[in-house]
Amino acid sequence: MMGCQQEGLGAPSPDPNNSEKPRKEGPGGRMGFLLPTFDEVTERRFDVWRASRLNDALLAPVAIGALAMFSFLLWDWLLDPSRFLACLLIRGSGTIIMLWCAWKLLRTRSSPIELRWIGMLAVSAGTVSIALTQFLLKDGFLYGPAGLALFPTVSAVVVTRARQVPLLNLPGFAVVLALLLLKGVEGFALFNVIAFVGTGVFAAGILALALERTARYGFQLELKLEEQAHIDPLTGIANRRRLEDRAREEVERARRFNRPLSLMIMDLDHFKGINDRHGHPFGDKVLRALAALGRANLRQTDLFARVGGEEFVVLMPETTAEAAAQLAERLRTLLSATPVTEGEISLTATISIGIATHGADAPTVEALMTLADKALYAAKAQGRDRVVIGRGGLG
């Protein structure tokens, strides 16, 4: 057997949050003001996720809202025909702004911040247009305050977060308040307008809270499905798909910053014989035992994955070939000293390990895997239960 030196290799502490385990991106049972909450990074992902869906969903409501506001010209005509042309200009300008917002949503994929500004512009254009027409029309604020609640209520479907509703309505509310003061509206009429606008904002806040809650649970479900797609169901460690994604990132980082990166492939020796003699359920138990051993002894920065029936891969950033060999020898020794038992069956499994390091001989993920695989076959050819480091000319 290859005698890899183990001096200087401290035993890593078992870490329940080891990187090969499912990464906890969900709320983890935490709640914030009736809403599931995520960690800081995942909260940013949620904003982007929600904005992308709102971007698709808002086009029709904004365009329909613009046309609906323009159709209220009939109400302007009935209330005060002498101001019809002025109202036409105001409503036409607001409609153009809102249709531009709809066009913007159609042509671009807005970020959460961009979406917020587009939403604020659309809601403000609608609210201000209605407020200006009521300012011009005789008794407009007396007969038409219900219209001022329309766009504040609609703002619920514009925001990614419920707490953004008051901010989104602030420009429109400020204009309404200024026009009320200029018009000299007071008493019941003043209270009525403010009550309608306030009711619209309050209703929008409640609706936005319900929509955000639903969205967060939907996002949480997507996170779980995403996590499951990257986890091996038998062992609970990463699967080939997750390994390939992470390996490409690490190889690029190693190349760009000239940092060491090693990879080991380990294969359970004579695993078919274990299944044949003791049955597949016991064979599964051996696989889980190896997974648990790696989970407890690998570093948090390492990625441990099952890529085949009895084949496992460890991706080790910031690790030289010699350091990887020391870690591999530790795992090999620990497994051979840890019997797997079930009833009267007690079996000591062994593994063969091949190691490759990123460099001129292995500049890509594929080359890294190929070199490690050749080293693994060399370990098996030399008698199994050993560690072999892959070199450029290894056949």
Active-site residues, by number, are 310
Q: Phi/psi at 111 (nearest 5 deg)?
A: -75, 165
Helix axes 187-229, 165-183, angle to 10 degrees: 170
Which tokens in the block code for residue 53?
A: 């869906």
Q: Is 270 helix (H, G, I), strand (E, B) or coil?
A: coil
CA dihedral 56, 73, 86, 77 (to 10 degrees): -170
Nearest to 266 by CA among 239, 291, 296: 291
Whole-number Cα distances in Å, 88 to 96, 97, 129, 143: 12, 14, 10, 18
Which tokens in the block code for residue 73?
A: 């010209």
Nearest to 67 by CA among 85, 89, 92: 92
Burial of residue 385, with CB atoms counted within 10 A of its CB: 0-12 exposed, 13-18 middle, 19 or more buried = buried
Q: How many whole angstroms separate alpha carbon 304 and alpha carbon 362?
A: 20
Positive or negative, the CA dihedral 114, 120, 123, 128 is negative
Q: How many whole angstroms separate alpha carbon 56 and alpha carbon 77?
A: 35
Contact (Cβ atoms closer than 8 angstroms) between residue 282 and residue 345: yes
Q: Cβ contacts of residue 105 below 8 Å, gap of 6+?
A: 55, 58, 59, 62, 118
Q: What is the DSSP track for 184-244?
A: T--HHHHHHHHHHHHHHHHHHHHHHHHHHHHHHHHHHHHHHHHHHHTB-TTTSSB-HHHHH
Q: Is 28 helix (H, G, I), strand (E, B) or coil?
A: coil
Contact (Cβ atoms closer than 8 angstroms) between residue 105 and residue 118: yes
